Structure 1
Amino acid sequence: MILEVAILPVIAGKNDEFEAAFRQASAIISSMKGYISHELQTCLEDSNKYLLLVRWETLEDHTQGFRGSAEYQEWRQLLHHFYDPFPVVEHYTLTQTYN
């Protein structure tokens, strides 16, 4: 499993619009091959900053499958105009777990 991590800096005053668009976009990403789950969290210290976590079966499911798809173009149209600056996206793999 791969964890995609993105900090999303949303333009001030656009939170409600962004969250509504994200609800629409969620249906797009959740339909993609290799998708496992995703969540969106709001930063407590800065309400214009969101954390997006997406779990994929493989890195290629995200970088080639999703980003290379027509569905990604729809995702882009719904969300990318809300960001300033554009988010950095990184991918992680599990090293260890602790309880």
Structure 2
Amino acid sequence: MILEVAILDVKPGQEVEFEKAFAQAQSIIASMKGYLSHQLQKCLEKDNRYLLLVNWERLEDHTEGFRESKEYQQWKQLLHHFYEPFPEVEHYQTVVSS
């Protein structure tokens, strides 16, 4: 399993609109091959910061399957205009778990 991690800094004052758009967009990512689960968490210290965690079966399910799909274009249209700066996305694999 691969964990995708993105820190999302939403333009101040657009948090409510972003959350509504994400509620709509989450069905897009959840429909993709290799998708396992996701969480969107809101930062307590910075009101406009969110953490997106997505579990994928394989790295390529995200980097190729999702990002090169027509569904990704819908995702971008719904969400990308909220970000400033544009988020850096990283991928992790488990080394130790309990």
TM-score bucket (shorter structure): over 0.9
CA distance in structure 2 between the partners assigned to 1:86 and 1:5 by the alignment? 14
**Counterpart position of 2:31:** 31
Query: Following the alignment from structure 1 to structure 2, what is the Cα–Cα distance between the partners of residues 34 and 21?
Result: 23
Cα distance in 2 for partners of 1:17, 1:81 equals: 11
Q: Percent identity?
A: 67
**What residue ranges of structure 1 are gaps of 5+ in the alignment?**
none
Q: Paired residue for 2:72?
A: 72
CA distance in 2, matches of 1:47, 1:39: 17
2:49 alignment counterpart: 49
Deviation (angstroms), 1:16: 0.5
Q: 1:48-90, CA deviations, whole angstroms, 9 ceiling, x for partnerless residues?
A: 0000000000000000000000000000000000000000000
- Aligned-partner SS, 2:41: strand
Partner of 1:83: 83
TM-score by length of 1: 0.98
Normalising by structure 2, we get a TM-score of 0.99
Where in structure 2 are there 5+ consecutive unaligned residues?
none
Q: Report runs of 4+ in structure 1 exceeding 4 Å deviation.
A: none
Paired AA for residue 5 in structure 2: V
How many residues are matched? 98
